[in-house]
């Protein structure tokens, strides 16, 4: 079994988070990008494991999506909450990140 080039995938995810920040929370895009990257960094070890399991056929796309989705409740958007961003915008941003991760891993691997 070959290893996943996870650093390349992770770099793609960081670029995607920046784009989502611009799309969902325009006026606080810089802070949203920071919160999103902090979230990705916190999930990095798990994401790398999920990516390898998916590549090896140990988990399906649905299982991958479920595993990543369970992380949503743990995601903290500290800076954005301090800025008073509405919860609905934070939830859309979080969901966008989860979708980005799932879509990126399933396309790249």
Residue 93 lies in a domain: yes
Residue 24 lies in a domain: yes
Per-residue confidence in pLDDT tens, the chain, 109 aa: 678 789 999 999 999 999 999 988 888 888 889 888 988 998 899 999 999 999 999 999 899 989 888 876 666 666 667 777 777 887 888 889 989 999 999 888 7
| d(C-alpha 5, C-alpha 11), whole Å | 10
pTM, two decimals, is 0.83
Residue 74 lies in a domain: yes
Whole-number pLDDT of residue 109: 79
Residue 89 lies in a domain: yes
Other CB atoms within a 10 A radius of the CB of residue 38 amount to: 16
Provide the number of structural domains found in the chain.
1
Residue 1 lies in a domain: no
- Tokens read off for 6: 């996870």
Residue 97 lies in a domain: yes
Domain that holds residue 101: 6-108
Residue 21 lies in a domain: yes
Residue 85 lies in a domain: yes
């Amino acid at each position: 079994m070959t290893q996943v080039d996870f650093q390349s995938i992770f770099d793609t995810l960081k670029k995607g988070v920046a784009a989502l920040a611009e799309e969902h929370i325009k006026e606080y895009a810089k802070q949203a990008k920071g919160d999103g990257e902090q979230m990705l960094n916190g999930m990095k070890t798990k994401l790398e494991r999920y990516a390898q399991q998916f590549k090896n056929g140990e988990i399906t796309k649905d299982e991958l999506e479920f595993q990543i989705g369970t992380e949503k409740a743990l995601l903290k958007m500290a800076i954005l909450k301090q800025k008073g961003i509405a919860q609905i915008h934070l939830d859309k941003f979080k969901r966008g990140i989860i979708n980005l991760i799932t879509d990126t891993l399933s396309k790249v691997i």
